[in-house]
Amino acid sequence: MDQFGIQEALKALGLAETNKGSSTGNAWLGSTTDLIESYSPVDGKLIGKVAATTKEDYEAIVAAGQDAYKDWRIMPAPQRGEIVRQFGNKLRAYKEPLGKLVSYEMGKSYQEGLGEVQEMIDICDFAVGLSRQLNGMTMHSERPGHRMYDQYHPLGIVGIISAFNFPVAVWAWNTALAWICGNVCIWKPSEKAPMCGVACQNIMAEVLKDNDLPEGICALVNGDFNVGEWMTNDKRVPLISVTGSTRMGRIVGATVAQRFGKSILELGGNNAIIVTPDADLEMTIIGAVFGAVGTAGQRCTSTRRLIIHESMYDTVKEKLAAAYKQLSIGNPLDENNHVGPLIDTDAVGMYNSALTKVVEEGGNIVVEGGVLTGEGYESGCYVKPAIAEAKNNFAIVQHETFAPILYLMKYATLEEAIEMQNDVPQGLSSAIMTTNLREAERFLSHAGSDCGIANVNIGTSGAEIGGAFGGEKETGGGRESGSDAWKGYMRRQTNTINYSTSLPLAQGIKFEL
């Protein structure tokens, strides 16, 4: 019996037991021989199979993208925005089945799955408005009868490599902006969530067909790291946007830079919340618990460290332990559960290893972890969210573990807390819990958090699309989503127009014939 309507959702999204995995947008390519099997971490069952992209398929997709770009780039930006608007409306219609698939294939709660599709809808709405605001700056020239301004042009093909933890939203962040900027896109979804990629391609194909748009505007490839290497080494793909580990980012960033391409890197996080004596404890506990256990700790913005003032350390520790006892772990499609599974058994292995290492380095377990077995946990991917007391300089604390493990540590002064917050290789998200205005502003100052995201009285996890998303240091420096992140998908050009009858040179240089 399909208790949660998964089969119905798959059918609504046009998914079969075996699916082609290479698409130019309007047409599916290749055979269904070399297959990627997608198993749900929820129950361990096979969701479906997706054909891996061959080199021949890839070449056809790039060629289609190059052809489509010639027409797409000269379409007025507001008209491109209209296509994105229609895609957003399609997502509204498919929100429930797509959210259900995200939850089932990735393992996050159904509410988070719906929230991820809502992020896609939100970025479409943002991009539609932005399509009428791709503005440059006008400047005064030092030469009489001259005008200067800068403008932005599309790059061509944008390659997008996304991670399993947000199997659809991050693609949409990139794609919606890339499209309204005049680019075409090739997407390689995570091989751990390929069915989500095929589903999104099916949805967008309806928009392309309705508008009689050319092949290549929205393309899909599937496969392992080899397919990613084709993209990162391809000079015909001037921009690569990649979400993944710092290790992966080092390889992609170096490869793309070597051919003088552009990259947007969204890599690891090691996020901390500072809890001051002036914190609202109720808000603090809610923010810390959701940040640590939401998506089973598999968000790049998940809360990994809680830096607590020594005067309230024991109180916060006790409240956290009590809150963890209330967590319900199980099938994420059951909305009574707070925590779902990790993505696979490899992730479970890393979780176990991290708990072993923190004890070996001198840490103390506050809330016991462990792998859950028995009825409802047959996939072997369910673990207990754990809390450990640790030092910030522990090797395992300096490392990002994609699992629900929260490290607690003490501080004496705010300066010490900020130094601890910053003293990790990653620099994605950060937060401070305080009702003290001076502490809040100190945290946000030049001498405060060194992360790309710094919050006051909210946790590290959960970002609105209106702001640019990304981090510093080993997080990669990339920016996606809101604010002026759209500029990363374009090339900048400075223009000078002489409408006088003479040719004066800049800096007063004289040159006469």
Q: Which of 185, 300, 381, 451 is catalytic?
A: 300
Question: What's the pLDDT at 1?
Answer: 53
Within 10 angstroms of residue 10's Cβ, the number of other Cβ atoms is: 21
Question: What's the pLDDT at 2?
Answer: 82
Q: Which of 191, 266, 400, 439 is catalytic?
A: 266
Question: What's the pLDDT at 374?
Answer: 96
Q: 371-410: string of b/e by CB count within 10 Å (b at 16+)? A: beeeeebebbbbbbbbbbbbebebebbebbbbbbbbbbbb
| Rounded Cα–Cα distance for residues 14 and 8 (Å) | 10
- Unique residue bearing structure tokens 């099916």: 202
Residues of the chain with pLDDT below 50 are none
The verdict on whether 389 is a catalytic residue reads no
The verdict on whether 218 is a catalytic residue reads no
| Rounded Cα–Cα distance for residues 60 and 54 (Å) | 10
Q: Three-class SS of residue 256?
A: helix
Residue 120's nearest CA partner among 156, 72, 155, 84 is 84
Beta bridge partners of 494: 150
Q: Three-class SS of residue 107?
A: coil
